[in-house]
Structures are given as structure tokens and as C-alpha cells.
Amino acid sequence: MKKTTLLLIILACSHAIWAQVQNDNLVQYVKPIIGTERMGHTFPGATVPFGSVQLSPETDTIPYEVNGKYVADVYKYCAGYQYDDKTIVGFAHTHYNGTGHSDLGDFLIMPTVGKLQLNPGTAANPSSGFRSRFSHTTEVAEADYYKVKLEDYNITAELTSTTRVGFHQYTFPKTDSAHIILDLMYNIYNYPGKDVWTYVRVLNDSTVVGYRQTRGWARNRTVYFAMKFSQPFVEYGYKSFSTNEPYAGFWRRFNLTKNFPLMEGHDLRAYFNFSTKLDNKIKIKFALSPVSMDGAMENMQAEVPGWNFQSVKKEGQLAWQKELSKIKIQTISDSDKVNFYTAMYHAFINPTIYMDIDGKYKGIDQKIHIAKGFTNYTTFSLWDTHRALHPLFTIIQPKRDNDMVQSMLAHFAESPFQMLPVWSSYANENWCMTGYHAVSVIADAVIKGINTFDAKKALAACITTADNPIYDNISAYRKYGFIPDENSENSVSTTLEYAYDDWCIAQLAKKVGDKKHYNEFIKRSQNYKNVYDPSIGYMRPKNKEGVFRKNFDPLETSGEGFIEGNAWNYSLYVPHDPVGMIQMEGGDKPFIERLDKLFTTYLPDKYFAHTEDITRDGLIGNYVHGNEPSHHIAYLYNWTSQPWKTQQTVRMILKSQYHNGADGLGGNDDTGQMSAWYIFSALGFYPVAPGSDQYALGSPLVKKADLKLENGKHLIIETKNQSEQNVYVSKVELNGKLLAQPFIKQSDITNGGKLVFWMTNKH
Amino acid sequence: MKKTTLLLIILACSHAIWAQVQNDNLVQYVKPIIGTERMGHTFPGATVPFGSVQLSPETDTIPYEVNGKYVADVYKYCAGYQYDDKTIVGFAHTHYNGTGHSDLGDFLIMPTVGKLQLNPGTAANPSSGFRSRFSHTTEVAEADYYKVKLEDYNITAELTSTTRVGFHQYTFPKTDSAHIILDLMYNIYNYPGKDVWTYVRVLNDSTVVGYRQTRGWARNRTVYFAMKFSQPFVEYGYKSFSTNEPYAGFWRRFNLTKNFPLMEGHDLRAYFNFSTKLDNKIKIKFALSPVSMDGAMENMQAEVPGWNFQSVKKEGQLAWQKELSKIKIQTISDSDKVNFYTAMYHAFINPTIYMDIDGKYKGIDQKIHIAKGFTNYTTFSLWDTHRALHPLFTIIQPKRDNDMVQSMLAHFAESPFQMLPVWSSYANENWCMTGYHAVSVIADAVIKGINTFDAKKALAACITTADNPIYDNISAYRKYGFIPDENSENSVSTTLEYAYDDWCIAQLAKKVGDKKHYNEFIKRSQNYKNVYDPSIGYMRPKNKEGVFRKNFDPLETSGEGFIEGNAWNYSLYVPHDPVGMIQMEGGDKPFIERLDKLFTTYLPDKYFAHTEDITRDGLIGNYVHGNEPSHHIAYLYNWTSQPWKTQQTVRMILKSQYHNGADGLGGNDDTGQMSAWYIFSALGFYPVAPGSDQYALGSPLVKKADLKLENGKHLIIETKNQSEQNVYVSKVELNGKLLAQPFIKQSDITNGGKLVFWMTNKH
């Protein structure tokens, strides 16, 4: 018996009570379908943890013409799939998880039989094109596995994936006219003109390589692919739907559209024809690369050398089991477990790995780089994820979080803008939302000691970013101490976010002993006070002359100086200085009243109409859980004399905003931020101000949890007297020691041990 | 004294009579302006021999709208410049020499002063845009040097170049509003939609990098650049003229159009503003790369590290002097010398070097390769150049010709089509014209013994090409022995060209001892007989049933089964078997009559209207010197009993089709083929059938010539009694030995020695 095995057994014994959980298949609790209806913007398809490929069905993103202009439901179809739709147009390889803006949807594949149709047709008349009707009764959506019957063609579609390879398995009826359509003009955010260039090269009767360049949210994005079929096609071809062909010329001597090994241009749909026997399975391995066609081919060879669909699926689900097992829980009900592990699943989709198997990736400078000593990630929705997702990663994915920061620092080094990422994706910066919150993630990683990168160099990148004159009114912010109303439609929220970000930089500077910058940025972090109007008690836009805006409505989200929030919510957004904020806003009692009112005031419809990204159910009074600026608010009671209201409110939100159904998310998952909020809150604590090592305690939903840390230690969270009614916490013990305050530190978690909450139904 | 120097002196002494020529500045005879008026399609700007950069003024290629459709003079402006135009819109970096189809015109630079205008305006109203009036009186066009006064701005523009770098020098008046416009939407073949993508990154106040992707004649072409200014710009920006912007989104928070370091999209024009003193010279180094922005920067550093315009110009002209010196001539008149050295100049522009200084280039597979052991070339207009340009290279540029073949073989290896190049350019195949004439160039190189490449591998590439089922009716050609009329609009000319190409492959097979393929292809080479209709005495389209086309007009160029020629001319196109052809067409006397008639019959206007690429002056009877299928015809008399008619006709063509003026070329120079015809014919011989080592003798125009060969030997061509009237050759001696036939062999040339023609005014 090896020593390591012995150790394992000892560890297993020491957690004997967890035997049942140890053996539990956690993948069974993952329901990718959650959030696919309405606002969740999640996708139901196959992906492995942080995988480059997200292979998922598309129900409708096809633009349609209205009065000569093209319209596309670019918001509704952020993830390509809406649960209420009745047809599937195919299966594409790239998706964001839960975003409020859209892009991707690369390389749509659709199997059909019968007459070859190369347009998708309409949802109203599916037979007019290649799309197919489907039903949720034949649909299976698991972690890294998706299955559905395409009813129009009697084809069973199955999908699984590895990090860089989508694996399709289509079970055909017997026919001489089986087709695999490769739609190269399909896009999420599917406007005419998005296709910049498409290149497809047929290498032999079962192998195809190529690339696609698009302009969309990512302005200049190229994805390369390699595609192999498990059986040879008998013929192939394409059709171009482009209306702008400046030169056709001598190509006229060829029939380019059939069996011609180079297919190029704009807006192409290719097809591959087969003859199939009954239950003939045509499998497709479809590898992606951010670098080259050769890179895609090597990714395929490395990750899926064979053709065994079941074994690829099994490996993918084992990978999920491994990640999910990082937190094992016992809950009051199975539905909580489903919410929890689906949240874990959603938290582990984005950011995604963005490099070839050999470490090569394309930088934002459009050059090829090699990630040395780290895994390169992309898809940083930092305005969302700096709040709870990255802090969660510091606990249960510290290696990945460290790699993500290194990816951000590489981005900085390669950036034409000398900026850390804002919302970056596929070697592009789309500038979505506000702030320079990468500094929060970086400071958090350093403060929590998970960094292998050079903290001083990282500080320099943070400062260059925070001082960058080309970015969103930074010059004015530095000049006036706030962003003047006339400069920006988000002058107040951006000022508040900059103030928080500056505080993060100050913490980082302090940590590395840079007093000069600590002093500079700790001063800047107080700028939040410059946009508070004590005469009305709210944050409020102010012009260069220092005059607050007239005719101001603190309930209005639109046009009042804020983004995704109103003055009500943003007046509570000083995560780094709750004490100062409470004092500024009148002290303990008035502040408690303010919070109470937030959760109870009914928001009239005229305001709700301007509240983005959520359903009506996503509102709790005037509190908008679906929008991130509010995510810390429930925990602010901890800084008042009534922390029990945090406990009560958190449990209420956990129950009201997260369900097991397809409509189970009240707002966009926002690449895992909504899910990270759930995970933290279900465990009983939350990072109100990333960049500090402090977590505010709430009210755990779990009965018990075991956090398996990368340092080999475990944090056990136990509750006593846990029930649906017992949402209040009478006392908390950390390793047998009573906590005097409702806060714990990162080291309390990472040193391992036991955190016990005594639950009660009275506060 | 070193031994080599001694040797040099001895050589110099042995050529004592050439002392004057030895010291002659041959660059003075190069007049790049020749061919810039009407049909020549040459450009007047700066380039070094076979340079990647051709930096030249553009007079007008701007498309204009007619009834809602865009029209551009894509044929007239193949080289961007027409002598008769009155305005210049700027200076672009890439041009073909003398083509009949257009593309390129990358990276137009225009200096202006005063109000910034970002549209070019019209020729009719130059002040409506940034273009400027100019006059030929201030224009200087030399090899690798161009100068002109831009009258609207009082700016003197000067251009020179190295292989990969364009060097601009603009002398400004004193002004606070000097502009350098970088027009990234300018194109030759300038249709809306040609711009696929443009990326410009400003690195600092004087350095810019980027790339441009276009779809045109080359379908998918990307050229990268690096640009340095000799003085910092004070501000910069751009305007997009694109009407299709699918996503602008969060970029709205920035003023992208001014001082923003990334400029991206479609149809952009950028500008850089300066403050200038009187006579302030703003210099620009503009480097190109087929591979990357870094490659462009390295090319710049390697080729033009400093800022000395004069020294770059001097080096460029020295490079030309070296190439021109490979043939030194004495002539009856200086105008002949101008024609000759301008022909040499034009012959040494295309193909162009297509790789970075480190050997990297982009292949037709869109991947980056390294040219190992050869210089990679592109721009192969092989339908034209296999006839005389490449044969000329086998004599005076054998190393380059060998490299060019290696470039073609690399193209083959990288081709998605498994084809040698047809008309290839910038990692693209545009399929222009007919045949697979790369096999002629390859066979010629091997037969003439200049190859370092593996001849057997080359043969395999030739055979794969000649048997390629996807290419222009090869399958039908192999099945029927000709291309049936119903299959192709060029069925006869293509059949004839395939037959000749097949003969080349046979010669190559024979040379490497491959009897099987020799037999196969020598048989295919006789296919020319299958499209000859003895009942009318002309080549004629025939259908699958073997029935010749009814209502056939042998004078008509359009729609009668031929390309760039009619049955009259193409019935003389069997370069590889003149003996068989003459026999087939009636024998000696009838054939002489046929040839006589060709040169004397007036071609009625209705036929001339369909004759492409030439002016009326380009016609000699029904003989079209401006179109290549006729180029060997004057030499066919050598196979009859009246070779003196070859002598007479050749001298007549030399005098009538080539002049010193801007309109000095009667047809497109066709990347040097027209010029190569001139050089050969002026020297007294011509390669009727490349792939054989035989040259037909004509009537030299020179008084004397010294061909300096790469093997160190010299061929001296002397004439006795040379004069304008003495166009007939009474006898020819090679190294003192009388020639019995009007033919010499490659070895007669490359072994060096003396070829003496006795001239007379009587035949």
C-alpha cells in the first residue's frame, strides 16, 4: 500500500459522516436548463469546466426585416436558446453564460434529411427551412451532455465536449439524402454585416478546416476550426448569401459551389451529404482554436483522438464531478441542492480557457503569444464578476483565479490602450459597463495571498489603467474628484465605482509597501462623497460648477446618471467604506430605515420599464437582485445595530430569486456572478468589499458544507437547528470560539477548520 | 593587389572597346513613364528590382455612382496612374506592372495643407477633396525615384524604395495645418465591399502599425504595415466611410475618431496632423509584410534603419544599374537604348519578392511558412510570362528563375487545389486566363539546366496539375482529346494551350527518364490536331459529338472559342510543333501566304471592337502584338523557306510597337512579357517553344550587346553593317562558325562566346 493511499484513507475516515456525500454523484444536481427561460440567459448545451467550447442548441437568433431594416432579438437570445421556443436551428460551439449582451454562436451545425434546404426558415413555418421542431419531452440537458430529438427529420442529436472540442453524435434514419449543414453565417447578435470573412478548406472526404472572422461585440474576432466526420461525405458544397461580391471574375470557370475544396467569402452555408443506414450514427469532432487551423487540428488530436462518444461524455462529467466536489453540502431539500450545484456549474463556465493545447493564444494586439507558466483565460465580465465570482475563486479555485489575473496582466501588456480588461473576450475589448474592476480582482488575489504573479508589476498595471486619459472620463474624474454630469450619462455610478476601484488599488499599494500610491488612491477612494447630495440624501449627478442636477428622480434608472440601477440602490454602493457611508447618510437608525424601505417600497411600473435585465419577479421592493450593484446590499445590515435583517433578507433572496425551473433565475446569470452570490450566501458569508480579506456573515441555507481547499485543508460549515423557518443566527463559532462580530476573514477559511452557525426562528 | 581585382582588370581589358559602355549610367535610359498612357498599364513610381513595394502616384481609381450602382474604371487604372489625368489622389505602395486586370493599390498616402479633407474629391473639381492638381513639367520619373509638385498644396513629393519599404519625402510650406492622410479604403479595382477589414494601431507619436484585408482579384489578401514619421504628429484620427456598422455599442463612451490608439473597421481614412516650417521635410518610412506587423517593423529596421532619403534612392538606383548591366548594348539611336533599358526595367519588376527579411511568407493555405533555401516570389502572370519573360530569366536571371520555380512548387505544396499557380498573387490564386503554364516554366528551367530543385518532384507536381479534375475542363479534355465547345467559351484556345503544356511535361518527363509519362504527355501534346478543321483551314470549336460549330467567323475574337485572340491567330498557336502544324495547314507555300495575310489584312472595326487590351496602333493587319498568343508568330517564317520574313517582321514590330513616349507600349506590358519580347527580339533571337532549348533567330536591333551571365561568361552579340534599313541577315556566325539554320541553343548562349550577324538591306 502506498503512503498516499494510506493518507487518503485516513482523511476519508476523519470525514466519516460524509461517506454518503463522498459517494454522491453531484452531476445529477446540475440542471443546465435552469435560467434558459426569459432573463437567465444561460444555455442548456454541453461544456466542461471553463471549457473553450460551449456546444449548445440555438432556437432562434435569425434577424428579420422590418420596413427594410434588419431586426434581431439580440438581447433575448444572448445564449442562443430560449426555453419557450418550439424549433431548433442547429447546434453552435460558443456561448456566453448568462450575459446581458450577446455575441458568439460560432459554427452552427444542423443535421437534416430529405430535400437540402440552406435557409433556416421561420419559427412560424419551420418547414420553410432547415430548422426542426423539438419537444422538451425528448430533451436531456446534463453537465456536458445534451440530447434532443429533431422531430422534422427523426434524427436524435447528442452533444458532449472537451475543453476545445465539440463532439456531435447524430442518429439518422435510413436515407440517401442525409445532410450535415455547417452554417457559417449563423451568429448570436446576428446582424447582416457581422460576417467579416469565412474560409473553409476541405482536406479530404471527412476533414474540413477553416476560420471565421466576425465583427460584433468583439470587434475583430477570428475563430479557427478543424472538423472531422466519422464517415466520409459523398459530396459537399455551399451557398453564399452575400449580396456584395465585388469580384467573381475568373472563378466563373469553376463550379465553386459544389465539391470545390476552398469555400470562401461572406455569409456562407456549407453542406455535406451522406447516405445513411437505419440508426446510422454520424459523429463529428469539431475543434476550435484562437490561433490557427493547425492549432485546431492539434487540439482535436490531443483531446479527442478517437470516436467514442460515451467516453468523452464520461470524462466531461467526471471533470464536473471533480469541480463540484470542491464544495459538498447537505441541505434541507433536494431542490436546494439543485440550485446550489447548478450555481456551481454556472460559476465554472466563464471565464473560459483561451489558448491552444500548446499554450498559444491570440492577444488583443492581434499577435500570437504563448502563455508561459499560466493558463490563459478570456471572457472577463468584470463589472459583474469582481463582486463575488472572483472572490469565490480565491477560495475554491485559487490556482485558476491566479491564472485569470495573469491573463489580465498579459492583456494589459498586449493592449493597444494600456488598459487592464474591462469586458474582454476573444482578444477583444468591448468596453461593456463601467469602472476598471480588474484592479479589484487583482488586489483581492494579492490581499488573499493567492498570487504567484509580481504584485508590484500588477500594481503598476492597475495605476496605469486608473490614470489612463483615453478611458471613460478618467481625466475629468481626476480633475474634479467626480465625473461631471455633462460628461457622461453614468456620471454618478462611474464615480462611485472608480472610488471603490481606487480603494482596491490603495490596498494593493499598501500590501506591497508603496506608500505614495497608497496615499494617492486612498484619497481618491473617498470621492464617493463628492456625488452625495445631503439635501436629498441620495447620490446625485453634479455638474462642473458643483451644482446638482435639477428635477432629479431617485427612483428612475434611466438617464439620471447611473447604469443598471437608480439613486436608491447606488446610494448604498460604497462597498469599501460602509462605516463612512452610514455616517454620511445619517447614522445607524436612518440607515436601517433606508435599507428596510429599499426592500419594501413597490417600484411603480413606469420605473420598472427602465430596469434592465430582470423580470418583475426579480424585484424585491425597489431592490433589484438581477442587477449587480445591489448584490452587497443585504449584507449592509451587518454594519448596523440589526444584523439579523441581513440574515432574514439573504434567506428571503435565496428562496425567492433562485428556483429549479427553466425560469429559475430572476435575472441574467452574468457569467456566474448571480450564481456566485447564491453559493456564498448559501454557505453563510459574502465578500462585500473584494480587496479586503473580510466576509460578512449572513444566514446559511445549507445544513452542512465541506469546502475542499487546494491547500489540502477543509472548511466545514455546520448549522445547528437548521430549517426553513430558522433563518436567524443566534451565535457563530469558529473552531469552537465564539465570533464577536458577524465577519470572518479569508484566513479563517483557508486555514481550514469548522464554522458552526446556531440557527433560530427568532431574532 | 588581390587576384580577383587583377582578373577584373584583365576582363575589362579584353573588352576594351566596351569601355564607354562599362562606365555608362544605364539607369538614365530607364523611362518609367513609358506605357503609362492608355494601354501599357505600367506605373511611373519607385521600385527596386523585383521589389515587394511599388510606390507610385494614383491619378484616379475612385468608383462613382451611376443610377445607384458603383462604377470604377477597373481596366483603365490597372496601374493606378494614367498619363492624361490632371490630378493625383496620393501615393500607394503596391502595383502590378502592365496587367490587364487590376488589384492592389495598398496604403495610399497623401500630404495636404489647410482644411482637413478626408474625401478625395473629383477630377472635375479637385478642390472638392484632398486630391491635388499636378503637371508633367514638375514630374520626374526614374528607376526607384519619383518626384512631383502637388500644386494645390505647394508640396513637393518625392518617393523612393527598398525591397520592402516605401520611403516618402514631402517638402511642406510653413503651416500649422499640415496633414498626412493615410487612406485605407483606397484600392485599385476600387469597388465598395472590397475592404474586408482594416486595423491600425498607433504605437507612439511617430509610429503606426496595422494591416488591411481585401477581397478583390486576390480573394483573401492581407497586407501588414509599419509606418514611421520623421517628426512626431501633434494629433491624429480617422473617419469611417462604412455604411454597415453592426455594432458600435460601448465604444460610444470614447471619441474613437480622434487620438484613440486603435482604429478599426471598414473603409477608413486616417490622418496625422503636423506643424511645419518652411521647406520642412516630413519623411515617412512605410514597410510592408505579407506576414505580420512585427514582420513589417523588422523589414523596416533591416532595410532602412536611418532617414537619409538620398542614400536610399542611390542604393535603389545602384541595384537597378547592377541588373541593367547584365546586358550592355550599343544601338543605332539613343531612343532604342531607352526602349531597351526601359524594357529591362519593366521585365525586372514582376514577379515580386514575397517574404519578410527573415524568410517568412503567407502561403495560399493562409498559413505562415519559411522559404528555406530560396527567395519566395509572387505575382505570376503565367499565361503571359511563360512565353518570353521566364526564358529570358533562364539566361540573365537563372538564380531568380530557379527561385521562382521553387516558389511555384511551394505554392503547389500549399495549395488547397493541388495545383501549380495559374495567376497567383499575394497568397491567392485568381485563375486568370487559361492553361497550366507553370509547367512550361518548370520544364524550361530543367531543360536549360538551371534548376537546383528536384526535377522528379517537380514533374509530379506538373502531372497532378495537368490531371486535376477540378480545373478548367481537364476531365473533358482528357476524355475527348479536346475541350468540347459546349463546355467552355474558350474551348479551342484552352485545348491548344493544354497541348503545348502537355508537350512541356513530356520534355520534363523525358529529361528525368520517366518514359511512361513522356509517352502519355507527348501523345496529349498532339491534341492540337483535334480542333483543326481542314475544311476551312482554321482551328474551330467542336462539340462532344465531334461536329464543328456552325456559323463560325475566324476573324472574331469574342465568343468563338478563343481567349484574347481569334481563329486566325490561334491557328498559328502550336509552338511545340511548327513542323506538324505547317504540314497540317497545307505545307510551306500556303503557310507562308497565311502568315503574310495575317500581317497585312486590315481588321474591320467590328472585330477590333472585341480585341482586348490594345490600341488600334497595336494591330499589324490582323496580328495583335499586344496579346500574347501571337508573340511567337513572327518567328514562324523560320520554319518555312522564307526566314527573311521573320527578320523583316520582327524589325517592323520592334519599331512600330515600342516607343519612348508615355504611350510607348501598344498593349499591356503584362508583367514584363511585352518587354521580354522586345529584349529577345532586339538581341536577335526568341524562344518560340519554352521547354525546348531552342531559340529562333530574327534580326537584331542592337549594334552590339554583351550578355553578362551568372556563370561569369559573356555572350557578345555583334552586327556587321547594322542600320535601320539593313534588317535582313545574310549570315550568322557563332564563335566564327557559320550557322546552317536560323536557330541557336541555350548552351550556345550560356557557354559564352560571340554571335555575329551580317546585316543587309536585301533578302
B13 inside domain: no
Q: What global pTM score does this model have? A: 0.94
Non-local CB neighbours of A583 within 8 Å, separated by 6+ positions? none
**Average of per-residue pLDDT across A267-272:** 96
Q: Does A197 touch chain B (CB under 8 A)?
A: yes
Q: Does A247 touch chain B (CB under 8 A)?
A: yes
pLDDT of residue B532: 98
Using CA atoms, how far apart are residues B448 and B402, in angstroms rounded to an integer? Answer: 11
Contact A244 B488 (CB under 8 A): no
Span A715-759, pLDDT tens digits: 999 999 999 999 999 999 999 999 999 999 999 999 999 999 999
pLDDT of residue B11: 43
**Domain that residue A577 falls in:** 356-760
Nearest CA in chain A to B262: A416
Query: With contact defined as beta carbons under 8 Å apart, do A388 and A677 qualify?
Result: yes
Q: Contacts of residue B201 in chain A, CB cutoff 8 Å?
A: 365, 416
H-type helices in A284-366, by residue range? 293-303, 309-324, 334-347
Residue A617: which pLDDT band, with cuts at 50, 70 and 90?
confident
Q: Does B366 touch chain A (CB under 8 A)?
A: yes
Using CA atoms, how far apart are residues B522 and A606, in angstroms rounded to an integer? Answer: 86
List Cα–Cα distances, A355 to A217, A404, A422, B283, B303, in angstroms: 20, 13, 20, 41, 34
Which residue in B193, B220, B261 is closest to A416 by CB distance?
B261
Interface of B with A in 108-127 (CB under 8 A): none
Span B163-186, pLDDT tens digits: 999 999 999 999 999 999 999 999
In a shared domain, residues B337 and B280: no
Residue A251: which pLDDT band, with cuts at 50, 70 and 90?
low
pLDDT of residue B19: 42
Inform me whether the pLDDT recorded for A10 exceeds 80. no
Using CA atoms, how far apart are residues B624 and B593, in angstroms rounded to an integer? Answer: 18
Question: SS in 3 state form for A508-546?
Answer: HHHHCCCHHHHHHHHHHHHHHHHHEECCCCEECCECCCC
In a shared domain, residues B262 and B341: no
Which residue in B191, B196, B260 is closest to A197 by CB distance?
B196
**Between chain A and chain B, how many beta carbons pairs sit less than 8 Å apart?**
128
In a shared domain, residues B331 and B451: yes
Which residue in A201, A417, A433 is closest to B416 by CB distance?
A201
Show the CA angle centred on residue B368, arms to residues B364 and B372, nearest 5°.
Answer: 95
More confident residue, A1 or B447: B447
Nearest CA in chain B to A433: B250
Inform me whether the pLDDT recorded for A9 exceeds 80. no
Nearest CA in chain A to B470: A260
In a shared domain, residues B295 and B358: no
Answer with the one of B321, B347, B374 that is the final residue of a domain: B321
Residue A21: which pLDDT band, with cuts at 50, 70 and 90?
very low
pLDDT of residue A15: 46
Q: Contacts of residue A194 in chain B, CB cutoff 8 Å?
A: 246-247
pLDDT of residue A540: 98
Inform me whether the pLDDT recorded for B209 exceeds 60. yes
**Average of per-residue pLDDT across A622-631:** 92
Query: With contact defined as beta carbons under 8 Å apart, do A280 and A229 qualify?
Result: no
How far off is chain A from B267, nearest CA to CA, in Å? 13
How far off is chain B from A200, nearest CA to CA, in Å? 10
Q: Is A245 exposed, middle or buried (0-12, 13-18, 19+ CB in 10 A)?
A: middle
DSSP for B646-688, please give it: HHHHHHHHHHHHB-SSTT-BSB--TTTHHHHHHHHHHHTEE-S
Q: Contacts of residue B189 in chain A, CB cutoff 8 Å?
A: 246-247
Residue A250: which pLDDT band, with cuts at 50, 70 and 90?
low
In a shared domain, residues B436 and B540: yes
pLDDT of residue B253: 73
pLDDT of residue B249: 64
pLDDT of residue B10: 40
Contact A472 B433 (CB under 8 A): no
Contact A193 B244 (CB under 8 A): yes
Interface probe with B: pick from A61, A103, A203, A219, most Cβ of B within 10 Å: A219
A533 inside domain: yes
Residue B20: which pLDDT band, with cuts at 50, 70 and 90?
very low
Span B676-732, pLDDT tens digits: 999 999 999 999 999 999 999 999 999 999 999 999 999 999 999 999 999 999 999
Q: Average per-residue pLDDT in chain A?
A: 94
**Average of per-residue pLDDT across B431-441:** 96
Looking at residue A258, what DSSP letter applies?
Answer: B
In a shared domain, residues A296 and A412: no
Contact A189 B247 (CB under 8 A): yes
Span B320-340, pLDDT tens digits: 999 999 999 999 999 999 999
Query: Given the C-alpha cell 500590501, which residue does it identify?
Result: A511
Nearest CA in chain A to B263: A416
Contact A431 B250 (CB under 8 A): yes
Which residue in A251, A293, A472 is closest to B253 by CB distance?
A472
**Average of per-residue pLDDT across A186-201:** 91
Q: Does B199 touch chain A (CB under 8 A)?
A: yes
**Average of per-residue pLDDT across B3-30:** 57
pLDDT of residue B248: 66
**Average of per-residue pLDDT across A668-680:** 97
In a shared domain, residues A310 and A228: yes
Q: Which three cell numbers stand for residue B33?
A: 513613364
Using CA atoms, how far apart are residues B689 and B532, in angstroms rounded to an integer? Answer: 20
A305 inside domain: yes
CATH number, domain with residue A317: 2.70.98.10
Q: Which three cell numbers stand for residue A51?
A: 471549457
Inform me whether the pLDDT recorded for A592 exceeds 70. yes
Interface of A with B in 423-482 (CB under 8 A): 423, 430-433, 470-472
CATH number, domain with residue B569: 3.30.2080.10
Inform me whether the pLDDT recorded for A478 exceeds 50. yes
A578 inside domain: yes
Q: Does A413 touch chain B (CB under 8 A)?
A: no
Q: Does B105 touch chain A (CB under 8 A)?
A: no
Query: With contact defined as beta carbons under 8 Å apart, do B275 and B176 qualify?
Result: yes
Span B506-544, pLDDT tens digits: 999 999 999 999 999 999 999 999 999 999 999 999 999
B464 inside domain: yes
pLDDT of residue B61: 82
Measure the N-to-C terminal CA separation of chain B; round to a whole number of Å.
53
Q: Does A703 touch chain B (CB under 8 A)?
A: no
A343 inside domain: no
Span A295-305, pLDDT tens digits: 999 999 999 99
Contact A261 B470 (CB under 8 A): yes
How far off is chain A from B196, nearest CA to CA, in Å? 6
How far off is chain B from A417, nearest CA to CA, in Å? 7
Answer with the one of B282, B303, B321 that is the final residue of a domain: B321
In a shared domain, residues B297 and B354: no
Number of domains in chain B: 2
Inform me whether the pLDDT recorded for B243 exceeds 90. no
List Cα–Cα distances, A143 to A165, A318, A343, in angstroms: 15, 10, 12
Interface confidence (ipTM) of the complex: 0.93
Residue A242: which pLDDT band, with cuts at 50, 70 and 90?
confident
Answer with the one of B321, B336, B366 that is the final residue of a domain: B321
Which residue in B196, B367, B432 is closest to A196 by CB distance?
B196
Q: Does B194 touch chain A (CB under 8 A)?
A: yes
Show the CA angle centred on residue B65, arms to residues B60 and B71, nearest 5°.
Answer: 60
In a shared domain, residues B358 and B308: no
- The percentage of residues in chain A with a pLDDT greater than 70, rounded to a whole number, is 96
Query: With contact defined as beta carbons under 8 Å apart, do B220 and B93 qualify?
Result: no
In a shared domain, residues A267 and A360: no
How far off is chain B from A465, nearest CA to CA, in Å? 15
Q: Which three cell numbers stand for residue B372?
A: 528555406
Non-local CB neighbours of A61 within 8 Å, separated by 6+ positions? A72, A73, A74, A77, A80, A102, A105, A186, A187, A188, A189, A190
Q: Does A251 touch chain B (CB under 8 A)?
A: yes
In a shared domain, residues A558 and A652: yes
Using CA atoms, how far apart are residues A446 and A438, in angstroms rounded to an integer? Answer: 12
**Average of per-residue pLDDT across A43-68:** 92
How far off is chain A from B141, nearest CA to CA, in Å? 32
Residue A249: which pLDDT band, with cuts at 50, 70 and 90?
low
Which residue in A199, A417, A471 is closest to B220 by CB distance?
A199
In a shared domain, residues B393 and B540: yes
pLDDT of residue B224: 98
Contact A254 B194 (CB under 8 A): no
Residue B254: which pLDDT band, with cuts at 50, 70 and 90?
confident
Contact B431 A250 (CB under 8 A): yes
| Closest residue by Cα to residue B418 from B368, B351, B346, B468 | B468
Nearest CA in chain B to A187: B246
Q: Does A680 touch chain B (CB under 8 A)?
A: no
Q: Average per-residue pLDDT in chain B?
A: 94
Inform me whether the pLDDT recorded for B93 exceeds 60. yes
Contact A259 B199 (CB under 8 A): no
B3 inside domain: no
Q: Which three cell numbers stand for residue A230?
A: 466519422
Nearest CA in chain A to B216: A247
Using CA atoms, how far apart are residues A119 and A122, in angstroms rounded to an integer? Answer: 9
Q: Contacts of residue A366 in chain B, CB cutoff 8 Å?
A: 199, 211, 293
- The percentage of residues in chain A with a pLDDT greater than 90, rounded to a whole number, is 88
A495 inside domain: yes
Interface probe with B: pick from A366, A436, A493, most Cβ of B within 10 Å: A366
Using CA atoms, how far apart are residues B323 and A648, in angstroms rounded to an integer? Answer: 89
